[in-house]
């Protein structure tokens, strides 16, 4: 991956950087990645905060600072607060002003309460998580099918912007078609006009988590836990290029070879494909003309 990155020629007159990355199979986020400016000490602390947050997502900065402090190395709460803001994480509990939408952005109601999700492409969900690197960090967004837990698409970025979320959404729509409902949190990336308009253009109903509700997007939260404990923390990736290659391998494993107890020990791909076959069979049955009756 790093060799492909060096093949991009920014001064090329005839081919844009985006097109060169596409031809090389190199994510643009990987090409533009620059190591974070935080000190090595803060990067290590951010990794510890991330691990603690996975264990206790209901802990705020005060409790996390207390949990990670020691008599020899006490932690200042304000320092933990600042790093949590950079990481894009906040405690999960009923409170005001969590996962703030952008100014003027519309917040949509949560549509999944009481809904029975019984087929693939009925509900998709998306979320962003912080990924620690040995010499920095990146942000990862993924789009998941709620029914099968299949990871439909993902993108990396070194900033919490809307562009990489839109890129993941477009990839999923191009490959898998359109869901009935798309569920996210109330973050500014997902409430932005560019993101919501893309959903509305495709006649997709928009659902957004209630503020501070831990279970509204539970399946993708479980994905982050699995990813970090089964891959990220074990591999300790050094660069964005290493991380991108590692995520390709992990999500291929997660979708096609990792069995899930909640899916009757089947893989997400098996459940997704079986559901599509069932839906197609029902559509075919409905489209058949009635048999003529013998008089």
Predicted local distance difference test score (pLDDT) of residue 13: 59
pLDDT tens track for 162-221: 999 999 999 999 999 999 999 999 889 999 999 999 999 999 999 998 654 555 678 898
90 — pLDDT class (breaks 50, 70, 90):
confident
Residue 141, domain member (yes or no): yes
pLDDT value for 216: 63
Domain-located, residue 290:
no
Residue 256 covered by a domain? yes
Structure tokens given for 220: 């993708």
Say if residue 149 is in the same domain as residue 200: yes
- Does residue 112 sit within a domain? no
Provide the CATH number for the domain around residue 263.
Answer: 3.30.420.10
Give the model's pLDDT for residue 235: 93
Question: Do 159 and 139 meet the contact criterion of CB atoms below 8 Å apart?
Answer: yes
Number of domains in the chain: 3
* Torsion (CA) 46, 134, 249, 151 in degrees, nearest 10: 20
Which band of pLDDT confidence, cut at 50, 70 and 90, is reported for residue 97?
A: very low
Residue 114 lies in a domain: no
* Residue 277 counted as domain residue: no
| Residue among 99, 102, 84, 98 nearest 48 (CA) | 84
Query: Domain range spanning residue 28?
Result: 2-32
* Mean pLDDT of the chain, nearest integer: 85
Q: Is residue 103 part of a domain?
A: no
Q: Is 243 within a domain?
A: yes
* The predicted structure's pLDDT at residue 177: 95
Grade residue 63 by pLDDT with cuts at 50, 70 and 90: very high
Shared domain check, 52 and 20 = no
pLDDT recorded at residue 102:
53
Does 240 lie in the same domain as 134? yes
Shared domain for 63 and 9, answered yes or no, is no
Indicate if 69 and 139 belong to the same structural domain: no
């Amino acid at each position: 991956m790093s060799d492909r990155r060096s093949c991009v020629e920014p001064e090329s007159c005839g081919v844009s950087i985006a097109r060169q990355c596409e031809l090389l199979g190199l994510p643009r986020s990987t090409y533009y990645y620059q190591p974070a400016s935080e000190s090595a000490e803060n990067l290590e602390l951010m990794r510890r905060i991330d691990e603690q947050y996975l264990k206790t997502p209901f802990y705020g900065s005060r409790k996390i600072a207390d949990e990670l402090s020691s008599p020899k190395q006490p932690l200042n709460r304000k320092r933990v607060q600042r790093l949590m803001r950079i990481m894009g994480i906040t405690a999960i509990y009923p409170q005001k002003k969590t996962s703030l939408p952008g100014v003027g952005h519309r917040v949509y109601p949560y549509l999944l309460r009481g809904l029975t999700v019984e087929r693939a492409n009925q509900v998709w969900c998306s979320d962003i998580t912080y990924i620690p690197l040995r010499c920095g960090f990146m942000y990862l967004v993924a789009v998941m099918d709620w029914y099968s837990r299949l990871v439909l698409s993902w993108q990396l970025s070194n900033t919490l912007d809307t562009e990489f979320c839109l890129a993941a959404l477009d990839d999923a729509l191009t490959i898998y078609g359109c869901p009935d409902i798309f569920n996210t949190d109330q973050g500014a990336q997902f409430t932005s006009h560019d993101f919501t308009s893309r959903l509305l253009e495709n006649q997709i109903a928009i659902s957004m988590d209630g503020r501070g509700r831990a279970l509204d997007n539970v399946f993708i939260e479980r994905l982050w836990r699995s990813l970090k404990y089964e891959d990220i923390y074990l591999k300790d990736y050094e660069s964005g290029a290493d991380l991108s290659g590692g995520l390709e391998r992990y999500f291929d494993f997660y979708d096609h070879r990792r069995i899930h107890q909640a899916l009757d020990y089947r893989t997400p791909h098996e459940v997704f494909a079986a559901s599509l076959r069932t839906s197609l069979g029902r559509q075919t049955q409905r489209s058949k003309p009635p048999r003529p009756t013998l008089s």
